[in-house]
Structure 1
């Protein structure tokens, strides 16, 4: 009797457990399917529009650059172009001049919104910058196109603040993935760039969907991206090669080079902010800032004697020019090409011209990698590739996204070296970056000067305060020494 009763209880319990499992499976997975379909339907038209705009932008950019190649006298009109850009933003740009930082701010804390005019204005002004020889990139333009289009669709769809954050993140991913042909990188970049030390995975699926659709759309329009490759590295016997799967000496060389890549990232970010602050203080008439910046770039170009550091640096203006592709070959870069490009780009962006920072960072990294490969007796194309992604990782604080970029652009054979380079450069770039609206969730060094700041903007203010205190202290010390003498 007891056995029979026990069997009935077990049978009922088993039946109840089965019904509960089916109920949980049905409700949870139905919700997942519903969520995925909803965001795919929402994002598809947004990403297609972004991809189409990015395709138009890339076509216009290439056309403008090659037109300048054929008409070199256009460089002399760079100061005039700077004035035109200044007044375009003064009359129509308004809050759009904050660029990528405005989009990051809106994702963190929705406020006035991202204006729809941001996309067309940044597209036009970036093409103007490159048409007349300014040294800038294209990522910032694509991201702003993505953010403004996403915001416009979000208003049409009447999304909540939470959904608007997701859609803006997806717009950033679509723009980034489409402009470089790296959809996985675009998705990871969009969630990693917001906060240093923390990833918000809730937007990962919408970002990935948007990035893939944006990339496919650009390809459908017949726009092709520059192909890079790392030469095959001959297998050579190395220390303890019978016991270790990796070349320890090569690892040490990669770490040394990556520390240099991180310092180059720091220098770039610091110069962009300091040049902008310095010229803002020097000139009360603001339209004179781009005039002065344009005149310096013209003077530098004729002092150096070649135009290699103007514009993107991807296509060669003449045979033998230093470009990103040429840096992947021995002798394809000058020793100080990376520094010249840093000066040109920070002057261009710091004095009010428009465009992105990433392609110049690729140039800086690839040419610095080329230089370091000679000093360290290392493979040229490998170190150019490591610099390509690592300087970008340090300047944007996105080491994970840049590791994926290395895999998407160069293949997975050297994935471990990509990760080492990106994370080392990220660490050595310190609490700096080109996007001042990035929040600091986890500082790179606990107990450091900038451990308690909430954003890079606050870190920059603290850094400026420390520099001013150090300057005053040095002046005071010198005056005391002079008085004692």
Structure 2
């Protein structure tokens, strides 16, 4: 036994650390989701809180400057650390991003929750790495497991979380050596999160119409067309977010003042459009009839909610507020699918589902993870059209994306020269 333990000491240490880390991440995500729901309902009851958004954003920026400026790197910092070890991921990132995201949602910023979960997972995983002295491949695998755990737990999709953890690192490749650790981490974290009584958003299980091979071929063609439209909008979102962010950083050098500018901009947008329906996650409704992500699957086609959500979200995230892009991207994608449904002659729920997962697949350059997520959320009945939509959106979105630290392992188009990271691809749309 001693010889066995000595021989496999590193493997045993890693396995125990992976499970312990996933349990902690799942529990942290449960607490975060509970708090996020609570602050959202408080904002619904007190819509005047929106006027505090500029001050709240400045307060969060001060906390980051006071306790960990490195944590400002967010998801990109975690990807950089997985690619090549640097100064590490500060443990302070976990409480800072949770607090920052809750402030954003309490005061009306349009943001998501995936960024918080991924940073929770990466920060806590790096804490285990530091304390156990893991290096090399073990270190990299635990950080990837942290990303998978956070993503899988916050959305209740552990299989997608596992694939996301290995696919988000680089375009055009999957590190299958990390598949098992990421799967274990995502499953354990999801189970831990659910054990606290957390309930995730429910979506309808959908099936393809059984009208023969010709009808299926036509539906697949329509899914491809919809995917191209989704990919172009995903490209617009990523470019707008990066471009406006760079402009604001140049216009307002002081980090404390950028969220003030952003908060004023979000307030102005709410006044101009006369609504607060496009603030927050977009999952819960402040009043009957408000556009919501689940509502796109049951309501009549919605023409413009996707565009308004895009504008509000870019205004929020590009000016330094904390949160994430994924849930707003789900809203934008499902809303766009709803708008395309009557034009393509496809049922609204089917198009909303395709738009929802394909939008993230295109913006994050993770089509496989998002196709898997679609199967987890909507059932295997939509499998063929989900895959077609995700691949078409991925190809149409270009080499940019929401995560600038992704590497380009294999370009989407053969004639394009691969760059080191997506940062080189953000200079132009072409």
Q: TM-score with structure 2 length normalisation?
A: 0.95
Asked if 1:435 corresponds to 2:403, the answer is: yes
Match of 2:424 in 1: 458
Q: How many residues align?
A: 426
Q: RCO (CA 8 Å, sep 6+): is it higher in 1 or 2?
A: 2
Partners of 1:79 and 1:292 within 8 A in 2: yes
CA 234–404 in structure 1, closer or farther in 2 if over 3 Å, else same: closer
Match of 2:224 in 1: 255
Q: 1:306 aligns with which of 261, 275, 282?
A: 275
Gaps of 5+ in 1: 1-29, 467-485
Distance 1:108 1:179 in 2: 24
What SS class does the counterpart of residue 225 from structure 1 fall into? coil
- Shifted more, 433-442 versus 154-163: the winner is 154-163
Q: CA deviation at 1:232?
A: 5.4
CA 73–399 in structure 1, closer or farther in 2 if over 3 Å, else same: same
CA 32–60 in structure 1, closer or farther in 2 if over 3 Å, else same: farther
Partners of 1:230 and 1:381 within 8 A in 2: no
Partners of 1:40 and 1:209 within 8 A in 2: no
Match of 1:362 in 2: 330
What SS class does the counterpart of residue 380 from structure 2 fall into? coil
Distance 2:371 2:60 in 1: 35
Q: 2:123 aligns with which of 126, 145, 148?
A: 148
Q: CA deviation at 1:334?
A: 3.2
CA 35–382 in structure 1, closer or farther in 2 if over 3 Å, else same: farther
Q: 1:269 aligns with which of 230, 238, 255?
A: 238
Q: CA deviation at 1:304?
A: 1.4
The ranges of structure 1 where at least 4 consecutive aligned residues each deviate by more than 6 angstroms after the TM superposition are 30-36
Distance 1:347 1:423 in 2: 28
What SS class does the counterpart of residue 413 from structure 1 fall into? helix
Distance 2:99 2:320 in 1: 14
Q: CA deviation at 1:202?
A: 1.3
Partners of 1:230 and 1:385 within 8 A in 2: no
Distance 1:291 1:149 in 2: 30
Match of 1:476 in 2: none
Match of 1:408 in 2: 376
Match of 1:447 in 2: 415
Supply the RMSD in Å over aligned alpha carbons.
1.9
Partners of 1:262 and 1:391 within 8 A in 2: yes
Distance 2:284 2:358 in 1: 22
What SS class does the counterpart of residue 176 from structure 1 fall into? helix
Asked if 1:161 corresponds to 2:130, the answer is: no
Distance 2:381 2:13 in 1: 37
Q: Which has the larger radius of gyration?
A: 1
Distance 1:174 1:460 in 2: 29
Distance 1:407 1:155 in 2: 36
Partners of 1:258 and 1:390 within 8 A in 2: yes
